[in-house]
Chains A and B, each alone.
Chain A
Amino acid sequence: SQKIEQNSEALNIQEGKTATLTCNYTNYSPAYLQWYRQDPGRGPVFLLLIRENEKEKRKERLKVTFDTTLKQSLFHITASQPADSATYLCALDEEGGANNLFFGTGTRLTVIP
């Protein structure tokens, strides 16, 4: 069956450290993978997209890697701040699909001051 797993339901880290979140998928062949941030009671906000032929993407303090052999994406937040506390969702499409997104269960990140 198809699965998108984010290995930690919750992650607590100290302010200033690098947070690393993991997204693993099974029985998908995505052309791209995306990461979103969701705050409580709000809709997701797009952060980064990485394509299957890209190994790494950066945006300010964010870095995403994509390993299609391992079927895994890593999402890093460097120099983390309390304001980064939120739930982070990975999402991917399905090869040959209509660009519909399928979401992982999310990791709730808490950055402790």
Chain B
Amino acid sequence: GAVVSQHPSWVICKSGTSVKIECRSLDFQATTMFWYRQFPKQSLMLMATSNEGSKATYEQGVEKDKFLINHASLTLSTLTVTSAHPEDSSFYICSARLVQETQYFGPGTRLLVL
């Protein structure tokens, strides 16, 4: 089946630093990847849609200068949380679309900003 990996699985950083999270589709090429954020006991909230070779499309309320997305190849998208603050602590999950409707999700990255 379609496998999506994320790295790192968890990260702890100091306030003000930047953190990069990688999302890879391991056995298929994904022209579109998605980034979600999930706070405890809440559902997934779409942050942005990442298209290979073009600029990401951000959802309303998500700061594009704070959450930098790069989709440089058909198997890799990165999310960089710049100048992270404690309120950015969350569970970040990526997904990749294989066929038109179905998304395959990565295992998630837990970010804790101290």
Contact = CB atoms under 8 A, between A and B. Distances in A.
B106 to A, nearest CB: 5
A32 B110 contact: no
Interface string B95-114: 10100111111111010000
Q: Which interface class (under 10, 10 to 19, 20 to 34, 35 or more) fits B?
A: 20 to 34
A18 B68 CA distance: 44
B78 interface: no
Contact of B42 (A46, A98, A105): A105
Nearest to B93: A43
A100 B34 contact: yes
B56 interface: no
B100 to A, nearest CB: 6
Contact of B101 (A34, A41, A106): A34
A99 B97 contact: yes
Contacts of A100: 34, 46, 49
**Which of A43, A100, A102, A106 has the most chain B CB atoms closer than 10 A to its own CB?**
A43
B54 interface: no
Contacts of B6: 43
A43 B108 contact: yes
B103 A46 contact: yes
A101 B107 contact: no
A84 interface: no
Interface of B: 4, 6, 34, 42-46, 49, 57, 91, 93, 95, 97, 100-108, 110
Interface of A: 32, 34, 36, 41-46, 49, 89, 93, 98-106
